[in-house]
Amino acid sequence: MLTTLHTSYTDTRAADLAWALGRDPLPALATLDLELSGAHVQLRLLGASHQVLLEEERGSCSETVACLPGSSTPLPLGVAKRVGDWEYEFAAHVEELTPSQFAVRAQELLALVSGHPHGLAGVFPGSPHAFTALVAQRQEGAVHWRTWHAYPQDGQLVATRTRVDVRAPALANGPSADGDFRPRAVQTRGA
């Protein structure tokens, strides 16, 4: 789905992006609700970038990548952590492109995301290449999403990739899912 966002372009530099987990829903300019094999995912376009809300019977997860006033967590290159019963993995990359490369890449991404059944893209006023785009899917039990944040004035395209999966249950004997070893039960024989 492609939409025009009727707001000023507030996240005007890649360096202004911050990352946060667990934030409450922020005001959205456009949303897309998805059901992905038992998981409810809401893709949210904000005036300041994106938010993804994931809910499943095991719990919920909220990711925000945006200009967040007062945030002290800049956009990390990578994160791997536990969120409740979830394993959360995040990666970000900034591409530096020439104006012609940027225009081509922007057109490709907007076509890809707007044509995807689980995609949401929003173009900001002032430039057809100023956009935020998200696409989600469920694959091998995990929920994945990718996002792109375009800054044509600087020739920067920020791409993120997220994977959220349920932790494997701990084994009764031997190593647990977190790598710690649990003592094995000692078996004794009667006399």
Is the pLDDT at 177 greater than 80, yes or no? no
Q: Is the pTM of this model over 0.75?
A: yes
Specify the long-range contacts of residues 138-143, CB closer than 8 Å, at least 24 apart. Answer: 138/36, 138/37, 138/39, 141/165, 141/166, 143/36, 143/39, 143/41, 143/54
Model confidence at 43, in pLDDT bands (50, 70, 90)?
A: very high
Residue 184's pLDDT is 32
Mean pLDDT value across the chain: 82
What Å distances lie between residue 10 and 20, 122, 159, 184, CA to CA? 18, 13, 18, 56
Cβ-contact 64, 142 below 8 angstroms: no
Rounded percentage of the chain residues whose pLDDT exceeds 90: 52
| 2-4 β-sheet, strand order | 2-4, 119-123, 131-139, 142-151, 156-166, 86-96, 78-83
Model confidence at 2, in pLDDT bands (50, 70, 90)?
A: confident
| 49-56 β-sheet, strand order | 18-21, 59-66, 49-56, 39-46, 30-36
Residue 167's pLDDT is 61
Q: What is the pLDDT of residues 129-171, one digit of tens each?
A: 889 999 999 988 899 999 999 999 899 999 999 999 966 544 4
Q: What is the pLDDT of residues 44-72, one digit of tens each?
A: 998 878 999 999 887 888 999 988 777 66
Residue 8's pLDDT is 60
Is the pLDDT at 17 greater than 80, yes or no? yes
Residue 3 CA to its chain's centroid (Å): 19
Residue 6's pLDDT is 72
What Å distances lie between residue 46 and 58, 134, 170, 178, CA to CA? 27, 12, 38, 35
Is the pLDDT at 26 greater than 50, yes or no? yes
Can you tell me which residue has the tokens 């959205």? 28
